[in-house]
Amino acid sequence: MGIVELALIGVGLSMDAFAVSICKGLGMKRLRMDQALLIALFFGGFQALMPLLGWFLGSGFQSFIEPVDHWIAFALLAFIGAKMLWDAFHDEEEDAVAENARLDLKELVMFAIATSIDALAVGISFAFLQVDIVPAVALIGIITFALSLVGVAVGHVFGSRFEKPATIIGGIVLIAIGLKILLEHLGLLA
């Protein structure tokens, strides 16, 4: 498998992480580079880690993972999206969201897992295709990192202007991404 094919796979796999990064940027009152880098690092890291794990698992466990990966991704994204909608409609004091609010690392891990679960299956297919795994996962991770960083910045630009509607849209988008993953894996959406 050539670098062009791997880059295209990397871009395809990173689209969910890009969308979630936009959603994370929507909620930022002030763009903080340390938070944007952390988000991109989580998404890029998990996008690289999952195919590596999948490659190690190989075909022996493929039949156990594939039947439920879409349900896991849907549940995580729907839960987090619903939480965003809840928060948007149940405003707390403005002071509750400080300009330098810390990222919720548990939520970030859930996002990273949910957006990279498909990469696990890609890693399994890499094992079948005898792909050189180290350059493959490095490229996928770098592409996801870069697109996630851009996504946070793009989300921030729109979120700082339209905070409440942006949070609502972000929650809906996360639920829609989870539903799309579920419907694609169930064969109801092409």
Query: Using one digit for the tens of pLDDT, what is the confidence trace for 92-127?
Result: 544 333 344 467 889 899 889 988 887 887 888 788
Distance between CA atoms of residues 116 and 43, nearest Å: 8
pLDDT at 163: 62
Q: Which residue has the tokens 């094919």?
A: 5
Closest by CA position to 122, among listed 52, 63, 43: 52
pLDDT at 100: 41
Longest dimension (CA), the chain: 55
pLDDT at 12: 84
Distance between CA atoms of residues 163 and 94, nearest Å: 12
- The neighbour count for residue 97, using CB atoms within 10 Å, is 14
Q: Residue 118 in contact with residue 13, Cβ under 8 Å?
A: yes
Distance between CA atoms of residues 104 and 27, nearest Å: 12
pTM: 0.72
The 3-state DSSP class for residue 162 equals coil
Token readout for 44 is 């890029």
Token readout for 113 is 């897992």
Token readout for 162 is 């339209």
The 3-state DSSP class for residue 150 equals helix
Burial of 60 (0-12, 13-18, 19+ CB in 10 A): exposed
Report residues of the chain scoring pLDDT below 50: 93-101
Distance between CA atoms of residues 172 and 113, nearest Å: 19
The 3-state DSSP class for residue 2 equals coil
pLDDT at 22: 87
pLDDT at 101: 47
Token readout for 2 is 């050539």
pLDDT at 38: 94
